[in-house]
A and B are shown apart, each in its own frame.
Chain A
Amino acid sequence: MQERVVIAGFGGQGVMSMGQLLTYAGMIENKHVSWLPSYGPEMRGGTANCNVMVSDDPIGSPIVTEATTAVVMNLPSLYKFEDDVVKDGHLLINSSLIEEEANRDDVEVYYIPANKIAVELGNAKVANMVMLGAYLELTKIVKVESVVEALKKVFGESKAHLIPLNEKALAKGAEQVK
């Protein structure tokens, strides 16, 4: 099994950390993982994306060319990555910010109002976790518990109080695609 994921959006939407948590969780489960960010003269509000590999076998190129899943948080990302998804792959669209529909009819498309759900939970910043929750429910590539464990390591003691909110966001995201 190999998941090749592109996660993309505006800088500040948490696309990099979403990818890192998935990578971290894969490592906790002893899978082969890699995380590759786009880097360059970029700024808050500009576009950002990362490539994540989670695999049972050693990873060759860390660059995702044929994505099994694309998670797009804003419209430019939909345009940029829609065509990279393989047939029957997953395309997760943040419908809070993307009003357009996908052009592809050979992939499984899910519209998730991630920002709306996050605001309802009390913190717009967890929109990324809503998307991650939906992604995990669809692919089951790693357990939600492993992501929570990864969160604990990333957050440390001082931000441990944010864990329940993130757990809720993951669960709400999963509900959207059940």
Chain B
Amino acid sequence: MAKVLMKGNEAIGAAAIKAGCHYFFGYPITPQNEIPEYMSRELPKVDGVFLQAESEVAAINMVYGAAGAGARVMTSSSSPGIALKQEGISYIAGAELPCVIVNIVRGGPGLGGIQPAQSDYYQATRGGGNGDYRHVVYAPSTLQETVDLVMESFDVAEQYRIPVMVVGDGMIGQMMEPVEFKKPKERSLAEKTWATTGTKGKRKPNIINSLFIDPQELEDHVHKLERKHEEIKKNETRFEEYNVEDADVVCVAYGTTSRIVKNAIKKCEEDGLKVGLIRPITLWPFPESAFEKITDKTKGLLAVEMSTGQMIDDVKIAIKGKKPVYFHGRTGGMVPNPTDIENEIRKIAGGEK
């Protein structure tokens, strides 16, 4: 299929429908409104259901219901709206149901602002909801990658029966780039024998539940989830790396910030500096193995985020104290400037830090 020029939010909607998602429940919030707008226009054309719920809490519970019935279902929101959905996400994770949640992040805390931010890293990777659960978090940096990951998210969610979150920011949502819709690699997906589709008098009722009163039963259940999480870590961790082995400084950045960092790296390279990049594509699981390639030559790591420093925790865990980890960030909707990043890299490379 030929490339088309699309706005990020619309491309997310189109990718979901192409991946077979026919159910969308949401509540409006900037800067992701083009997603529900697109879904409200396009889902009826494929006999799907678009429903604007009375709140984010209602929307995520509608997702819970549709997922329980075995449907491919998605919701989208932005930061404070995703905060409201956390209870539902925890229930869906506990009940082992597949669904896709898109967060087009805006500045916080509270209502915050509407400009791009990455200040929901903790919320996305540490679980804003209660209990011992994880869910997959993808952080695309281009619209092509966004489309690819949204399409694959539905397969990943079904393969592991787990919520998958796709995290973008206002820039990913609002910008236009050419995209091509390609089928994700084939996965063997088991039949949804657990779905509540009606017994037709032929089997025992399926029960979708996250309540386990007996502690032993709950521990067994949580261990089952844990084994699943380990499988995902093994099979689904994804990252991009660039010149890590040979670098004086290794930058770590994800999403749109990584694109700005790439510009800064290019400028440093013009002066003969060797600068590497680790770009996590999955924020959970965090690509810890990518840090094993860092050699003694590297003077330090630089985490760059649109926050006051959240992913940097995972960077420190991954580097196991072997190298100093520095931070550069802008927050509140301000976007890092390539020149500032460049200066930070030069300081680390020159031993000023």
State the 5 A-B residue pairs at the shortest beta-carbon distance, nearest first. Answer: A35-B176, A60-B262, A60-B263, A61-B260, A36-B175
User: Are A40 and B114 in touch, CB under 8 angstroms?
Assistant: yes
Interface residues on B, range: 20 to 34
The CA-CA distance from A59 to B256 in the complex, in Å, is 11
- Residues in A18-76 with C-beta less than 8 Å from chain B: 20, 23-24, 27, 33-37, 39-41, 59-63, 65
Q: List 25 A-B contacts (CB under 8 A).
A: A20-B176, A23-B176, A33-B177, A33-B178, A34-B175, A34-B176, A35-B5, A35-B175, A35-B176, A35-B177, A36-B171, A36-B176, A39-B174, A40-B115, A41-B114, A59-B259, A60-B259, A60-B260, A60-B263, A61-B256, A61-B263, A62-B171, A62-B177, A63-B171, A65-B337
Tell me which residues across on chain A come within 8 A of B330, comparing CB atoms: none
Residue B285 lies at the interface, judged by CB distance under 8 Å to chain A: no
Is B3 on the interface with A (CB-CB < 8 A)? yes
Cβ of A27 and Cβ of B259 under 8 Å apart?
no
Contact across chains for B259 and A61 when beta carbons are under 8 A apart:
yes
Provide the residues of chain A in CB contact with B335, threshold 8 Å: 63
Give A39 to B170 CA distance when docked, in angstroms: 9
Q: How far is the CB of A67 from chain B (nearest CB, A)?
A: 14
- Interface residue from B174, B177, B338 paired with A37 (Cβ < 8 Å): B174
> Which of chain B's residues 17-56 have a Cβ closer than 8 Å to chain A?
31
Tell yes or no: B266 within 8 A of A by CB: yes
A61 touches B338 (CB 8 A): yes
Task: Tell me the bound Cα distance from A42 to B259 in angstroms.
Answer: 27
Chain A positions 75 through 116: 1 when the CB is less than 8 Å from some CB of chain B, otherwise 0: 000000000000000000000000000000000000000000
Are A61 and B175 closer than 8 Å at their CB atoms? no
Contact of A63 with B260 in the complex, beta carbons under 8 Å = yes
- In the complex, what residue of chain B is closest to A52 when comparing beta carbons? B176
By a CB distance below 8 angstroms, the chain B residues around A36 are 171, 174-176
Which residue in B31, B262, B338 is a CB contact (below 8 Å) of A65?
Answer: B338
Closest Cβ neighbor of B257 among chain A residues? A61
Q: Tell me how far the C-beta of A65 lies from the nearest C-beta in chain B, rounded to whole angstroms.
A: 6
Return chain B residues, CB-CB under 8 Å to A33.
5, 177-178
A residues near B259, Cβ cutoff 8 Å: 59-62
When C-beta atoms are compared, the residue in chain B nearest to A37 turns out to be B174
Interface residues of B in 145-175 (CB under 8 A from A): 170-171, 174-175
Bound-complex Cα distance A36 to B5 (A): 12
The residue on A at minimum CB distance from B113 is A40
Q: Return chain B residues, CB-CB under 8 Å to A20.
A: 5, 176
Bound-state CA distance A27–B170 (Å) is 23
Distance to closest chain B CB from A147 (angstroms): 13
- What residue in chain B is nearest A153 (Cβ atoms)? B5
- Note all chain B residues with C-beta closer than 8 A to A24: 5
Contacting A at CB under 8 A, from B100-130, are 114-115
Residues on the B chain within 8 Å of A39, using CB: 31, 114, 170, 174
**0 or 1 for each of B249-268: is its CB under 8 Å from A? (1 = yes):** 00000001001101100100
Given known A20-B176, A33-B178, A34-B175, contact A61–B262 (CB-CB < 8 A): yes
B173 smallest CB distance to A (angstroms): 9
Q: A33-B178, A60-B266 are in contact. List 19 more A-B contacts (CB 8 A).
A: A20-B5, A23-B176, A24-B5, A27-B5, A35-B176, A36-B174, A39-B114, A39-B170, A40-B114, A59-B177, A59-B259, A60-B260, A60-B263, A61-B262, A61-B338, A62-B171, A62-B177, A62-B256, A65-B339
